[in-house]
Amino acid sequence: MRAIVLTGANGLFSAGADIREFNTPKARTEPNLLTLIEAVEASEKPVIAAIGGTCMGGGLELALGCHFRVATAGASIALPEVKLGILPGAGGTQRLPRAIGLEAALNMIVSGSSVPAAQLRETALFDEVVEGDALAAALVFARRLAAENRPRERLRDVALREPNAEAFLQFARTAVAAASVGYPAPLKCVDAVAAALKPFEEGLRIERELFVQLLHSPESRALRHAFFAERAAARIPGIDESAHIRPVERAAVIGAGTMGSGIATSLASAGLPVTLVEAKQEALDRGLEAIRRNVEAAVKRGKVDALAAERTLARIDPALAYDDVAQADLIIEAVFEDMEVKLAAFRELDRRAKPGAILASNTSTLDLDRIAAATERPQDVIGMHFFSPAHVMKLLEVVRGAKTSDDALVSAMRLAKRIGKTAVVAGVCDGFIGNRMLEQYVRQALFLLEEGASPQQVDRALERFGMAMGPFRVSDLAGNDIGWSIRKRRYVEKPHVVYSRIADRLCELGRFGQKSGAGWYRYEPGRREALPDPVVDALIAEYRQERGLAPRKVADEEIVQRCIYALINEGAQLLDEGIALRASDIDVVYLTGYGFPRYRGGPMFHADTVGLYNVVHSMRRLAADPNLARGDPGFWKPAPLLAKLAAEGKTFNG
Ligand code: NAD
């Protein structure tokens, strides 16, 4: 034997380390990845990596330790560690710059994105990039190597020469710092890559140190939690994996308003023919126009090409009658949020849909079980709660009614994946997971205004915590009238619950947010920038005066604590009631649908990080605070599950 060819099974090289092993004894068992790479690199016989399919993370680090590399043009090359809040810790940050240059390596390591091998053809990373089979090409290469007696080449021996390295790194640090607020890993990636300019062993030591620091950081723990939480959400406990999956070849959407047009865009973009049913011609035309705009925007952003866009549009079949829904395997109703209208629509669907078709409602607040009861087939009825804009937002709450069958549920989850959504199962209740928690968060935000904070202060404090947008900016974007109509219902349904009326005042002035040019902020025509508005300050001051509320100085920490703990407590309540299946599902809802910072892992993981004992302790302190007397006195009572886990020293996420 004169040479060794290293490859992976099934035509791919390696997708990297199993991240479940991080921080476990298994990760410390020899030979670990570093030892393995050292052994490969030290081999007297040349080692050639035959790279097909995927070569990522630890897999790429192993390939970099080989003496030669032969890849297929389409192989996916990446060091994605940064996405989990860490950096490549087995020499990747030292060897990759030596192979492809400082700048290209930095881009790959800081972004974590995959690059096809063909794009790196001209670099020293690959000795050959071939169109066909990597293994066959590597074997030919190995024989030639042996025949020529070509010496081994080790990337560690390459001295990285970059005349403008310092200036480049300085620029990179500034750019990366600005783009990664809250995330420590990207900047540490820059530091590690910069160490590649030092002697190899020293660089390796620095990389190791930075890796270990990141591995133990709360941000990396949170990102890894988010990664697993998203995978876990697709599995439904107690449902047999082999539950029959109903094939979905054709869909129908009822109602072509804001949501219906977005849902139809989403389905058609994923290749499904969609019958779009409306009650009125004008509404149908408006819906079709909205779909066209959605698709054109995707072309503009380079997401799809013009041909794919035309095909998507051609899949939409507009209709003014329910006749055509008989063909559909899945029908999603998105008519007005009015029980009578929904019941009439479902009775009609029950008459027309084919047996076994999934009948889904996009209702946000209505009782799905009542809707299901309007049909003779409640087992086929399910909630599919999309978020606006439905063709953009990843989150989908799949609502399981009392009679929803397992196979309808599993099929809806499968369909969600097919159309690129992150689906989470929720039980029937008003608001499901996301909006039910949001209501408590917003209630606190409004109490804070009564007590002395301004909308800007509340938004700023929560945005500094990491929320993509503060609650008042979100409300202006979504439309303040939505919350208003929900509150009006609550005043009747739950007269004992204390609500601040301050937002109602705003709505009474017609300040519905961006769509009306003013809300909690004012907006210049055609612009989305939220500008502070003295009219709102005056309105709040007047409201406080009328109610005899003396404003006090509210600290940013208090804002964050009250709003976020309100989310957490309601989340615990949802778990107790079985509306959410697991704490990590709640985290997924908030990470994908509500702009919760990923580096904090979601509200329930954040609670675990703070410590449930500490959360409960702070809630008891808030309950006893006389400053908060106007708020709901029962508000800060810890949910039974939260109190129990805190007392037992446990966490939500096990
Ligand atoms: P919308 O008013 O924009 O659209 C509703 C459409 O349904 C209208 O075009 C109307 O003409 C049509 N329609 C009414 N009755 C019909 C019938 N019998 N047959 C066919 N079409 C009919 O409302 P929307 O904002 O798209 O909301 C639709 C549903 O989605 C509601 O249940 C709402 O609660 C839910 N939802 C809305 C949002 C949101 O942010 N807007 C988010 C999630 C869920």
Atom of ligand 1 nearest to the CA of 388: 40
Reported confidence tier of residue 652, pLDDT bands at 50, 70, 90 = very high
**Could you tell which of 280, 323, 325, 335 is best to mutate to test the pocket of ligand 1, judged by most ligand atoms within 8 Å of the CB?**
335
- The rounded Å distance from CA 573 to ligand 1 centre is 29
Ligand 1 atom closest to Cα of 261?
26
pLDDT above 90 (res 403)? yes
* 211 Cα distance to chain centroid: 25
Pairing of strands 381-386, 395-400: antiparallel
> What is the band of 631 on the pLDDT scale with cuts at 50, 70, 90?
low
The pLDDT value recorded for residue 630 is 66
- Mean pLDDT of all residues belonging to the chain: 95
Which residues line ligand 1 at a C-beta cut-off of 6 Å? 254-260, 277-280, 283, 334-337, 341, 345, 362-364, 385-388
Tokens 């969600």 -> residue: 416
Give pLDDT tens digits for 579-604: 999 999 999 999 999 999 999 999 99
Angle between helix axes 556-577 and 603-610 (nearest 10 degrees) is 110
| For ligand 1, atom 3: residue with the closest CA | 257
CA geometry: angle at 520 spanning 549 and 365, to 5°? 95
* Residue among 253, 258, 347 whose CB has most ligand 1 atoms within 8 A, to mutate: 258
Please, what is the angle between helix 33-42 and helix 58-65, to 10°? 20
Which residue's C-alpha comes closest to atom 39 of ligand 1? 388
Is it the case that residue 608 has pLDDT exceeding 80?
A: yes
Distance set, CA 353 to CA 171, 296, 502 (Å)? 60, 32, 46
Q: Provide the pLDDT confidence category of residue 254 given band limits of 50, 70 and 90.
A: very high
CB atoms within 10 A of CB 437: 25
Residue 312 has pLDDT above 90, yes or no: yes
Report the atom number in ligand 1 closest to the C-alpha of 259: 26
pLDDT tens digits for range 420-458: 999 999 999 999 999 999 999 999 999 999 999 999 999
Question: Of all atoms in ligand 1, which is nearest to the CA of residue 333?
Answer: 29
For the ranges 34-38, 236-240, 314-318, 457-461, the lowest mean pLDDT is seen at: 236-240
- Which of 291, 294, 324, 336 has most ligand 1 atoms within 8 Å of its beta carbon, as the pocket-test mutant? 336
> How many A from CA of 259 to the centre of ligand 1?
6
Dist. CA 260 → ligand 1 center (Å): 7
Find the helix or strand (DSSP H, E) in which 168 lies: helix 165-179
* DSSP sequence for 427-491: ESSTTTTHHHHHHHHHHHHHHHHHHT--HHHHHHHHHHHT-SS-HHHHHHHH-HHHHHHHHHHHH
Q: Write out pLDDT tens, residues 494-508.
A: 998 899 999 999 999
Preceding amide of 31 cis, omega within 30? yes
Phi-psi region of 466 (alpha: psi -120 to 50; beta: other; left: phi over 0): left
CA nearest ligand 1 atom 44, residue: 364
Cβ of 406: how many Cβ atoms within 10 Å? Answer: 15
| Residue among 259, 367, 370, 486 to mutate when testing ligand 1 (max atoms within 8 A of CB) | 259
Residues above pLDDT 90, as percent of the chain:
92
SS3 337: coil
From the CA of 340, how far away is ligand 1's center (Å)?
A: 13
Angle, helices 58-65 vs 92-100, to 10°: value is 60
* DSSP-derived pairing of the beta strands 4-6 and 47-51: parallel
Using the mean position of ligand 1's atoms as its centre, give its distance from the Cα of residue 257 in Å: 5
Give the whole-number percent of the chain exceeding pLDDT 70.
99
Which protein residue's CA is at the shortest distance from atom 17 of ligand 1? 279
Centroid of ligand 1 to alpha carbon of 542 (angstroms): 36
Ligand 1: which residue has its CA nearest to atom 19?
279
Q: What is the mean pLDDT of residues 297-317?
A: 96
Report how far Cα 151 is from the mean position of its chain's Cα atoms. Answer: 48
Residues identified as active-site: 61, 81
Say if residues 564 and 614 touch (Cβ distance below 8 Å). no
Burial class (CB in 10 A: 0-12, 13-18, 19+), 231: exposed
- pLDDT tens across 343-373, in order? 999 999 999 999 999 999 999 999 999 999 9
Q: What distance in Å separates the CA atoms of residue 472 and residue 464, rounded to the nearest whole number? A: 14
- Global pTM reads 0.94
Tokens of 253: 């959407």
Q: Which amino acid is at 347?
A: R
Round to whole Å and give the CA distance between 226 and 220.
Answer: 10
pLDDT, position 49: 98
Instruction: Kindly state the average pLDDT of the residues 302-320.
Output: 96
Question: Taking 80 as the threshold, does the pLDDT of residue 212 lie above it?
Answer: yes
What pLDDT sits at residue 263?
A: 98
Distance 397 CA to ligand 1 centre (A): 17
State pLDDT tens for residues 163-207. 899 999 999 999 999 999 999 999 999 999 999 999 999 999 999
